[in-house]
Amino acid sequence: MENEIIVPEVIPASHTIQPQTNIGSSPDDYASLALSQFHSGNYIGAVENLEIATALDPSNTEWVELLQHAKANVISEVHVAIPEVYYFDRDTLLASPVVPVGALPADPAPTAPPNLGKRMLVALGNGLGRVATILMGGATHLWGSIAGFKDRAWTNWYRRPFFPGHTHPCLHA
């Protein structure tokens, strides 16, 4: 707390200055305020004050042009900050990452090696999986050679009945 620096918020004067709203306010007052708001980037405030100034003195073409320009800036959001263009550096991108201590979880505790029963079950499952794969592949090739799977239009599987003597339900209109 001792070394804490307090930075005050700086507000441009055009954001805080408002013309007097009494009967004696001239269009020049509104236009001057609008011009300062326009140059400081407060386009919404500039539009508000320029509309009042042009309503009081519609013959001033300079104010009308500035009003159109300020409205275009509000619509296009010119006041929104865009980050600077940054070109990546190859060495920086390919450098090893810097990971602070404690950012990653600790390594898990080592697990006990599987016992004989677990290894036998894994071997049995792998063996049954290989046998099932061979049987399914053989059944697929056998069915393809019996029923056929090629025709003039690349494939004909969608024209076969689901069961002998029945046609595909999607083909009935």
Model pLDDT for residues 125-169, shown as the tens digit of each residue: 999 999 999 999 999 888 878 877 666 655 665 665 555 555 555
Does pLDDT of 86 surpass 60?
A: yes
Mean pLDDT of 17-31: 67
**pTM of the predicted structure, to 2 decimals:** 0.39
Mean pLDDT of 32-40: 90
Model pLDDT for residues 89-136, shown as the tens digit of each residue: 999 889 999 999 989 999 899 988 889 999 999 999 999 999 999 999
Q: Distance of CA 152 to CAs 140, 145, 160, 162, Å?
A: 21, 16, 15, 21
User: Given pLDDT bands bounded at 50, 70 and 90, which one contains residue 23?
Assistant: very low
- Are 12 and 40 spatial neighbours (Cβ–Cβ below 8 Å)? yes
Burial class (CB within 10 angstroms; exposed 0-12, middle 13-18, buried 19+) of 161: exposed
Q: What is the CATH number of domain 13-76?
A: 1.25.40.10
Structure tokens at 116: 């004989």
Model pLDDT for residues 7-17, shown as the tens digit of each residue: 555 555 555 55
C-alpha closest to that of 70 among 49, 56, 86:
49
State residue 138's pLDDT score: 93
3-state helix, strand, coil in the chain (%, to 5): 55, 0, 45
Structure tokens at 44: 């919404």
- C-alpha span between 127 and 112 (Å, rounded): 24
C-alpha closest to that of 40 among 20, 16, 65, 61:
16
